Amino acid sequence: MASDHPLLISSPQTPRAVEDLPTIPIYTDLAKSGSENPELASAMDSNNPLGNSANTEPTLNSYFRRSNSSTKSRASRGNSVREVSFDNSGSKPPRHGSRGAESDGLSISQRELSDEDARLIYINDPGKSNERYEFAGNTIRTGKYSILTFLPRNLFEQFHRLAYIYFLVIAILNQLPQLAVFGRTASVLPLAFVLLVTAIKDAYEDWRRHRSDRVENNRTALVLGDEGFHEKEWKNIRVGEIIKISANDTLPCDIVLLSTSDPTGVAYVQTINLDGESNLKTRYARQETISRMSQNERMSGLIKSEKPNRNIYGFQANMEIDGKRLSLGPSNIVLRGCEIKNTAWAIGVAVYCGRETKAMLNSSGAPSKRSRLESHMNTETIYLSGFLVSLCTIVSVLAAVWLRRHRHELDYLPFYRRKSYEDEDDPKNYKYYGWGWEIVFTFLMSVIVFQIMIPISLYISMELVRIGQAYFMIQDNKLYDEASHSRFQCRALNINEDLGQVKYVFSDKTGTLTENKMEFQCASIWGVDYSGGTTCVPGDGYSAQVDGQVRRPKMKVKVDLELERLSKIGKQTEEGKPIHDFFLALAACNTIVPMVVETPDPDVRLIDYQGESPDEQALVYAAAAYGFMLLERTSGHIVIDIHGERQRFDVLGLHEFDSDRKRMSVILGCPDNTVKVFVKGADTSMFSVIDKFSNKNIIQATEGHLHNFSSLGLRTLVVGMRDLNSSEFDQWKLAFENASTTLIGRAALLRKIASRIENSLTVLGASGIEDKLQQGVPEAIQSLRMAGIKVWLLTGDKQETAISIGYSSKLLTGNMTQIIISNKSKESCKKSLEDAIVTSNKLMTQSGVAQNTEGTSGTAGTPVALIIDGTSLVYILDGELEEQLFQLARGCSVVLCCRVAPLQKAGIVALIKKRTEDMTLAIGDGANDVSMIQMADVGIGISGQEGRQAVMASDFAMGQFRFLVPLLLVHGHWNYQRMGYMILYNFYRNAVLVFVLFWYILYTCYTATSAISDWSSVLYSVVYTSVPTIVVAILDKDLSSRTLLKHPPLYGSGQRDECYNQKLFWITMVDTVWQSAVIFFVPLLAYWRSTIDGPGIGDLWTLGVVISVNIHLAMDVMRWTWITHAAIWGSIVATVICIFVIDAIPILSTYWAIFNMMGTGLFWLCLLGIIVGTVLPRFVVKVLYQYFFPSDIQIAREAEKFGFSRELGGGGMQIEMNPILEPQQRLSR
């Protein structure tokens, strides 16, 4: 259990006094602690911390250095790998997007602060602060509506659906006396019901948001007043007020720290409510404000800050106190929603309140996406609209002909009677407006009668079905991550069915395929590779004595015995000095916070190294294992136990990592009165600042070791150092102090100063850190590929590391031919692409990948893997070469993109989306994956070690990559199959009724009267037939999960659009015409010469339609449950009861009609004839088609039914799966 107080203080971010040099306030991107953090990994590109990185990242980083060693055959894997490398490393490397210190293409928090972008905050004077500027109050409001705006705004949002506008027009037309077909009330009910249900759902959700807002706004905090601190509700806090926060309290707004309980001004902050990260972070108060608050003086001053923005990892401001101008950065601000930990209290001034806080600005969800199936449904809806217009046109034309033929009889026809004879001397026309207008009115009345051709209930049914499907996905234990105790999250309900049609998966590496739990494996120091003898040290490893207690690292690290022996020699020997400096750099060049963890033994304490980066944690633990244990970190110094000797190092400056430099450095004042700068970073960045004219052999050896480490899949980092003489240090100090207080161009100046001191370094060595694959990743990738899904790996890692991970994850196999493209100019990229396309086509032709003339799926002889780096993509994604890359990539089995930036990831996804109709899925866990996740059709966030940025931007979230298999192959397949069938069934059931009404009009002189009662028309889509289709679409399963997981090729049915396509639509419409004809003409002919009235035969038609469509549905159900039985047969019973009730009401025209009909045998004979006539032909056709042309799904279902699942794909019973065709070979849509 951790103690309540930290053992040590974090690295400095602000000066303690004039002599102490403050840390450079670099406004870092959220550098992914995984593979995309070049400082901590292997030259990966920077991330954009903003929620919408696709729109805000200003630049692409340059990738201009790669290992001199080409990728060689990996005989050690037992595979013979052929490689075709298109590399042009001789040309001078460009600096795309890496504009150096003078870069101005920065995000809102990185841009230099100017007067136009600033706002003034008067400390402890909220009146003056808010008098001149209209700052937001601290009231938050996440609700969308108020009591006054709910009705108009909700209706406005709902009527964004064109179908609702269509039904509104129909309802309005029915209110006109000339067009009244149904009762005026009855015609409004369907639309009103749908609008009411949606409004109730929206109102309930908004009520919950308002309730949460009230709880949040009414919380209290301590605010400084005339008589000291007093409680004040959060909603009343204003910008400029001074607030006091106690330990474990949540911050009510964004504050700039003024003082803390720690004399050095440090505060420990947990941001789990903001970004999901549980590691403690350090924030600092300026020393000038600490002294003022400690003396209980009335604090006053002016803060000039940037305008509110979404960047939670950047902040830029200046503070003026007592005539001094102090710079403020991200380390000085604590955001709303964060909690103070291990700090008794903290005092700060409110700078952003309410909706202007960074947390609230980031509260918007992911962009809305639309289901592919729903988009295709719109095409069929247009066809149905065409049907509707055609039917109405036919009726109006026939009505015109009939009126013309009978124009002389219209005055006397009993059922028409054009004249009113109330005044016998001068009879006038009765509701007759002339031949032309009668035709127009007939057309409009027909539209009203046939309105349900467009199924209004389908939209609400789809919403309910998606909610039910989401519930079962969330409750599935196969998607439950025991390690993080997190269930599957369905954050976007409108694309569930898209999970069943995915063709491309774009995956991040670190934290997605790997665990993002770093473990130090090996090191290269001074040209010597220490990677062969790592072993666990017996006992508890290295420990140090502190105040009579034993302190040990919390995590044990395997050590190289030879390296451990040499580390004890000390820095006095030539052999031991570089090793001493190397581990000193690992222990000192970081922002790790050492914390004490109690143990059952009161004399033993564990040191838990907490930090934002798992890489830094691994390196500090490694240094401790070799006897360089970081014990203490304050705002001005660090204490390191070096083999039993505690040494204090003054931290004179700390240059944090930034995306331009791709490295970090620390300036230490050593015990021997020397000043040294230690630098660590990515190899692409470090070798550009290494002194290459000295120790050439060591540099070459280190480069070779880096290549070997990367080939093993390790994440590499280069460490260097140099001594600073007094003149260099003084120059740096003066320049730094001037830059840190500059109003204009401060960030660029600080980057420039950092780059000047980080040069002419002596290389000390390199480290290798292992990021292990997650459990089940190789098996998952293999299953996805068997399902016909192409998996592309998009990573910021080095090429060698990415290839190694590709092999270990089975993304790359030994029989693949690798095409490697790594170029440094547009011309060379074009040439490489052309050559690669020729090579790929030749390989595909030779191996018979193309479809053979017999029409069977050719055997994949030699699959091709494309490996391309980010530098090449800079030129290719520029536009002109995109088409060539697409032609090359689509023919490859695997595409592996290394050293790619976040925008390049999104660009690769867009490359496929723009040129194919294939469904794309992107999966990642970090902020740099947000743009890719939002670009793909389906975005999945991994709730892992890197915060919740990816989760918050995703459509679905889960804990492990392997969960992708049951999600797609099982739930995705089920969701697509169910939703596709439900849409077709809704079209069918409504069209059946419309065609019955159409046949009836043809036999009633085209008068656009309805064959069934008004109330039955209203209840048909709401009560009679709605529940069964919803239940079946939620619960039905064509195959068990076991079968779907065992045979991944079954997933191809969704990729081939087997459950919903235009062919099925037209077949359904033909079946609809036949069934409607049977339902209408059987009773008509049976009662042709009888005296039955319209309401009586109308009830028979109603029962015939309802029973037929429900039996039609029952024939297609594959997994019966008691709920399914209750829904289908209960729907028929409910219809009978409703007709009984309607016909028992005396004031209605249908009074007692059904009871008179049911008393005769002919009624029951007609009902039986309708059922047989509608169901039997369809049953016969279905049996014959499945017998002679069975699909994969039908064969697998039969095998399940008869207990042959064990033989599926085995030796007893072989199933030949249909080939997964390319788009041009699929069923026509």
Give me the active site residues, please: 508
Residue 307 has φ and ψ, to the nearest 5°, of: -70, 160
Contact 452, 994 (CB under 8 A): yes
Residue 1127 has φ and ψ, to the nearest 5°, of: -70, -45
**Cα end-to-end span (Å), the chain:** 62
Contact 959, 486 (CB under 8 A): yes
Tell me the C-alpha to C-alpha distance, in Å, between residue 198 and each of 189, 430, 585.
Answer: 14, 42, 61
Rounded CA-CA distance 574/565 in Å is 15
* Cα 416 off chain centre by: 63
Rounded CA-CA distance 431/433 in Å is 6
Rounded CA-CA distance 875/871 in Å is 7
For residue 920, what are the contacts with CB-CB under 8 A and spacing of at least 6?
502, 503, 504, 506, 909, 912, 913, 936, 937, 938
Tokens 């001149």: give the residue.
132
- Of 12, 128, 966, residue with least CA distance to 480: 966
DSSP 745: S
For residue 699, what are the contacts with CB-CB under 8 A and spacing of at least 6?
687, 690, 692, 763
How many other C-beta atoms can be found within 10 angstroms of the C-beta atom of residue 850?
11
Rounded CA-CA distance 452/450 in Å is 6
Residue 1039 has φ and ψ, to the nearest 5°, of: -140, 155
Q: At what angle do helices 150-158 and 184-217 cross, to 10 degrees?
A: 120
Angle at 1113 between CA 1109 and CA 1119, to 5 degrees: 165
Query: 357: alpha, beta or left, given left = phi > 0 and alpha = psi -120 to 50?
Result: beta
Contact 932, 1012 (CB under 8 A): no
Tokens read off for 1143: 């016909």
Residue 716 has φ and ψ, to the nearest 5°, of: -110, 155
Tell me the C-alpha to C-alpha distance, in Å, between residue 559 and each of 103, 622, 1047.
Answer: 43, 8, 44
Residue 606 has φ and ψ, to the nearest 5°, of: -100, 145
Residue 348 bridge partners (DSSP): 243, 257
Residue 1140 has φ and ψ, to the nearest 5°, of: -60, -45
Residues in the chain: 1229
Tokens 């720290």: give the residue.
257
How many other C-beta atoms can be found within 10 angstroms of the C-beta atom of residue 306?
20
- Of 1144, 1229, 993, 1171, residue with least CA distance to 452: 993
Contact 496, 502 (CB under 8 A): no
Contact 348, 357 (CB under 8 A): no
Contact 656, 26 (CB under 8 A): yes
Rounded CA-CA distance 717/658 in Å is 15
Tokens read off for 52: 């919408």
Give the three-class secondary structure for 259: strand
Strands (E), 35-96: 82-88
Rounded CA-CA distance 1037/1029 in Å is 14
Torsion angle of the four alpha carbons 467, 469, 471, 476, in this order, in degrees rounded to the nearest 10: -170
Tokens read off for 175: 């209110």
